[in-house]
A and B are shown apart, each in its own frame.
Chain A
Amino acid sequence: AQTVTQSQPEMSVQEAETVTLSCTYDTSESNYYLFWYKQPPSRQMILVIRQEAYKQQNATENRFSVNFQKAAKSFSLKISDSQLGDTAMYFCAFIGGTSYGKLTFGQGTILTVHP
């Protein structure tokens, strides 16, 4: 079974600074996909970024980028130029190539951006 671990329950950052959220996972599959989702106080789950395991290049999406270390099974999210609107719960998620829709989530990290 796949597991996803987020070891930082809470983090905080000053506006305009950079913060990195950690995520590790465990799987025996060679083909899989990793995601970061954001859940603001409105509770709407929003996709932040997606990474395919077969791609060596780290995914980027505007101010959001990942550091994907396949051998270490690590998938961290870097948020640059943090904004107040980035305040949310962030979930790391995994789906295996043979999982047929079974998305496995980590416990989440609450990120607070301070003015």
Chain B
Amino acid sequence: ETGVTQTPRHLVMGMTNKKSLKCEQHLGHNAMYWYKQSAKKPLELMFVYNFKEQTENNSVPSRFSPECPNSSHLFLHLHTLQPEDSALYLCASSQAQGGGGGTDTQYFGPGTRLTVL
């Protein structure tokens, strides 16, 4: 595998389910990101991880719980979601600089299309 991979590609879940999205990067980067892409809205940054430490939480509801066990893997744990959480969830990675995600180019995975019933 090369680049940034995400699994699953599609996910349908009920509001009471618990599921997890997985992202893996094969680029040797040390910063990883979760974005949400909803219809008719710009991409929204959700979380930033830099050297496995969370450096940004963009006021995301607690029903979304990120986890970054190492610089290559990023998870998004989902529980008790709402129908308005249905969206494309994109993962990205980049080289980090200093204490934050830096300004280096972010490379994206193919996304997970989430539908909440």
Contacts and interface: CB of A to CB of B under 8 A. Distances in A.
Interface of A: 4, 32-33, 35, 37, 42-47, 50, 91, 95-97, 99-108
Nearest to A50: B105
Given A101-B103, A102-B56, 4 more contacts: A50-B105, A100-B99, A101-B31, A102-B48
Interface size class of chain B, counting residues whose CB lies under 8 Å from the partner chain: 20 to 34
Closest 4 CB pairs of A and B: A101-B101, A100-B100, A45-B108, A105-B43
A42 B48 CA distance: 24
Interface stretch (B20-28, B64-72, B73-81, B88-96): B88-96
B102 A107 contact: no
B105 A35 contact: yes
B45 interface: yes
Interface centre among B50, B98, B106 (most CB of A within 10 A): B106
Contact of B106 (A4, A96, A103, A108): A103
B102 A100 contact: yes
B52 to A, nearest CB: 14
B107 A95 contact: no
A46 B33 CA distance: 15
B55 to A, nearest CB: 6
